[in-house]
A and B are shown apart, each in its own frame.
Chain A
Amino acid sequence: MTGTKNIVALVVLRIVFGMVLFISTIRFMVKGWVDEFYIAPKFHFPFQGFEWVRPLPAAGMYIVFATMLLTSLMITAGLFYRWAVAVFLFCFTYVELIDKTFYLNHYYFVSLFVFLLLLVPANRYFSLDVLRRPSLRTDRVPAWTILIFQVQLCLVYFFAGLSKLNPDWLLRAMPLRIWLPANTGLPVIGPLLGKVWVAYVFSWFGAVFDLSIGFLLLYGSTRRVAYVFVILFHVLTACLFKIGMFPWIMIAATTIFFSMSFFSWGFRAAVPATPSSPTPLSPPAPPSLHSPQTVVRKNLRFGLLALYFLLQVLVPFRYLLYPGHLFWTEEGYRFSWRVMLMEKSGTDFFYVKDPLTGRRGEVNTGKYLTPLQERMMATQPDMILQYAHYLKRVYQKKGMTDPVVTVESYVTLNGSGSRLYIDSTVDLAKQPENVYHKTWILPFIENK
């Protein structure tokens, strides 16, 4: 964590990642998702503890997205860099917290990466900030400013690989066995994708890739080959699966592993490799780095970073605290780099009963949720509970004093065939929303 490194890797990351943020934000807006995801729905599924995060009216949401566009460009250009990063981080995370329906691992990744960008001086070279204040310019940055991104990426890939070490993925080639045959229309590789053995090859290769790629990128001797694999792997997944910006975000993020010598290789130009021994920052660093409190700040920073990475390591393991089959209950599933592991789908019928009259009716969920919300909720018990509580409030407003809310829910997981998911006799209106195990999730029944 000591010593300095050439700033170039950080600058390339700032430019490339800033551009990817800009493109994803534009893409999100062009597809009409601001309206579809955050303005149209009557009800949102907030994250636990963030129930106070509410969407703004339409104009406000569009202002938030416009702000993200602007600040992502400012990040790329390195203009008022720290402010731009802070504002982007705030806006992006705010939007993600509104509704867990739209949670994606790579959105979580963007929040984390932008948070790390906030900590480093990526604007101190080749930026508009340097043009404004030439004294900012430096060639060297502390090694930790680059290392934190590398460690973060290693964790992401490694945990993604670890999560693939399960019987469905390795022994049954699920869910790739379902997903790959859909691409038989692709040129060249298309016809192969219908074959079961190909699904096994993809599954095992994917697991090995995820487990090892972080380390292969870390070491100089394997880095070049590893990056070629990064590009090939992510381009392939982009062509095969509907995963949006994820591949591009990862290809952009992994540029942080490049060293100066890699650039000279990349351009076949004779740029001398940077010495690994620490050299003084040149020109003299600005006051912020050399103030009397430097030591305190430094210790504080390392302490906070240590805590941050400790959490990054622990959070994906929290599922061990829950009983049952993780993919079925999804207790401790999010924020753990579990990507593309399940073909899971469900249908549910919600019932509201008035205990005073004994009348029981089936709710037309299409009236309250968008189709996408309904689909995402169908397979996630915490969302089913949130919706049940929402229905309770709706019917209380309609004059029912104590509505009993139950659900008849059928879910299929990796081709298991649909089965009852939630205990249909339990009054969900009375169940608490908390982090404890939800006893009303029925156990997963394995098929032979």
Chain B
Amino acid sequence: MRRKTFLFSAAICLLLTGIFFSCSKSGGGSNPGGGTTAKDSILANIGNNIILPAYLSLSASTGSLDSATLDFNTGPNAAKLSALQSLFKTAYLSWESASEYDGFGPAYTNQPILSGLNLFPTNNTLIESNISAGNNNVNAFANAAAKGFPALDYLLFGGGANTLAGFTTGSGAANRKAYLAAVSADIKVESNAALKGWQASGGNYIATFLSGTGNSVSSSLGLLINSMVQDFEVGKNDRLGIPLGKQPPGQVLPVLPNEVEAYYSGISVQLALAQLKAVQNIFLGVGVQGAGPGLKDYLVKANAQYHGGPLADTIKASFASAVSGLQAIPDPFSVTIQNNPAPTTAVYVTFQQLVVLLKTDMPSALGVLITFGDNDGD
């Protein structure tokens, strides 16, 4: 009887471990065959026509930006500064279209590198002291708020009419040029690393992305929705909420104008719009090939309803009203919110409604868990 007790216990334990491991594999939801179900065609469109082109364009524009920086540094003049400023805006806008995928994949594996390129408001005191000291190590932890696009925003626009003089006749002009080059090179290198990680010729994360079907937190859909929603919600707080004085204790009158994104170049609304449209494009499936299947098609397929109508239509309308609301806000944002904050406050409310739909209704209709970690349910 003793032997049998042991054998039986062992058999049950073995059985349990056996199925435990066989199921954890299939539970991961990988579909090696791939490429045939409706889900895959949505992932394929989002991966091939939206995400990859976004990284390509970021890599290209930051490359041009860096070349222009080097050219500017060889002989700074007004024409070159103006060219550089224009390339800066292009690159910054392309960053806004790539930040939605920063929460997973190669952009995240080591650390979310792309979001590190846009921590605002920048610390211009720190930048100036780095320049005086000749400290160009922009990747040092202490310099997190003295690098990336916000640092360029300050370096290229912060001096107003005297900006050019800082690179030519001002004291420490050589150091300033070196710091500019270091910030620009860092942006280029990190953007390129994110692209390489996704490309088939590099880390080939695109293959992982396309095969990660299912709706678990670790599936491509789960990763994408979580990353996108977090990016959008953080953006809502940082781009609109904080400058509007929305955070406690709250302001009777706004505002914190120098907390806006791109304070010096004054393109805050353009940037916010670029990010909003990027999120909208993932939802609608609009990429370089034009309209294709997007997240909305999952909702249509699941026949998701919202108060008696299709959920996809509700979200589409909500995007449209957020876009048109934001388009009506004039740049520079830092001035607008001081003179006439009411329209922006209204836009903020439409952003909140969109957050609810994207964070609660859409994932719930698809069974995707909104959490940026892992856990069990029951």
* CB atoms of A361 and B247 under 8 A apart: yes
A139 to B4, CA, bound (A): 14
B204 within 8 A of A: no
Q: Which of B17, B20, B302, B359 contacts A181 (CB 8 A)?
A: B302
Instruction: Identify which of residues 1-57 in chain B touch chain A, using a CB-to-CB cut-off of 8 Å.
Output: 1-2, 4-9, 11-13, 15-17, 19-20, 23, 26-27, 29-31, 37, 39
* CB atoms of A245 and B376 under 8 A apart: yes
Q: How far is the CB of B158 from chain A (nearest CB, A)?
A: 28
Residues from chain B with Cβ under 8 Å of A241 in the complex: 377
A72 to B245, CA, bound (A): 53
Q: How far is the CB of A427 from chain B (nearest CB, A)?
A: 15
* CB atoms of A271 and B4 under 8 A apart: yes
A371 to B226, CA, bound (A): 11
Complex: chain B residue closest to A14, CB-CB: B9
* CB atoms of A125 and B359 under 8 A apart: no
* CB atoms of B7 and A126 under 8 A apart: no
Stretch at the interface among B104-112, B266-274, B305-313, B320-328: B305-313
Residues from chain B with Cβ under 8 Å of A54 in the complex: none
Number of residues on chain B facing chain A (CB within 8 A): 69
Q: Which of A239, A243, A263, A345 contacts B376 (CB 8 A)?
A: A243
Number of residues on chain A facing chain B (CB within 8 A): 86
Residues from chain A with Cβ under 8 Å of B373 in the complex: 36, 370-372
Q: How far is the CB of A249 from chain B (nearest CB, A)?
A: 10
Known: A125-B5, A415-B365. A235 touches B250 (CB 8 A): no
A361 to B250, CA, bound (A): 4
Residue from the set A358, A398, A417 with the largest chain B CB neighbour count within 10 Å: A417
Known: A8-B1, A415-B365. A246 touches B252 (CB 8 A): no
Residues from chain B with Cβ under 8 Å of A243 in the complex: 376-378
A361 to B363, CA, bound (A): 28
Q: Which of B241, B251, B367, B374 contacts A31 (CB 8 A)?
A: B374
* CB atoms of B247 and A362 under 8 A apart: yes
A286 to B365, CA, bound (A): 60
A434 within 8 A of B: no
A23 to B17, CA, bound (A): 9
* CB atoms of B363 and A16 under 8 A apart: no
A125 to B4, CA, bound (A): 12
Known: A184-B39, A346-B360, A347-B356. A16 touches B372 (CB 8 A): no
B60 within 8 A of A: no
* CB atoms of A412 and B16 under 8 A apart: no
Known: A12-B9, A363-B247, A363-B248. A178 touches B370 (CB 8 A): no
* CB atoms of B308 and A447 under 8 A apart: yes
Stretch at the interface among B118-126, B210-218, B281-289: B210-218
Residues from chain B with Cβ under 8 Å of A418 in the complex: 306, 356-357, 360-361
Stretch at the interface among A45-53, A293-301, A336-344: A336-344
Q: How far is the CB of B356 from chain A (nearest CB, A)?
A: 5
Residue from the set B9, B250, B363 with the largest chain A CB neighbour count within 10 Å: B9
Instruction: Identify which of residues 273-318 in chain B touch chain A, using a CB-to-CB cut-off of 8 Å.
Output: 302, 304-308, 311
Known: A184-B39, A371-B373. A343 touches B364 (CB 8 A): yes
* CB atoms of B39 and A235 under 8 A apart: no
A105 within 8 A of B: yes
* CB atoms of B376 and A126 under 8 A apart: no
When A and B form their complex, which 8 residue pairs have the shortest distance between CB atoms, in order from nearest?
A244-B376, A361-B248, A361-B250, A182-B215, A359-B250, A345-B364, A15-B9, A417-B306
Q: List 29 A-B contacts (CB under 8 A).
A: A11-B9, A16-B12, A33-B375, A102-B375, A104-B377, A125-B5, A178-B366, A178-B367, A183-B214, A185-B30, A185-B37, A238-B20, A245-B376, A246-B378, A252-B12, A266-B11, A340-B378, A343-B367, A345-B370, A347-B355, A347-B359, A352-B249, A353-B250, A358-B252, A395-B249, A398-B249, A417-B306, A418-B306, A418-B361
- The chain A residues found within 8 Å of chain B, CB to CB, are 8, 11-12, 15-16, 19-20, 23, 31, 33, 36, 102, 104-106, 125-126, 139, 175, 178-179, 181-187, 231, 235, 238-239, 241-246, 248, 251-252, 255, 263, 266-267, 269, 271, 339-340, 343-347, 349, 351-354, 357-364, 366, 370-372, 375, 378, 395, 398, 400, 408, 410-412, 415, 417-419, 447-448
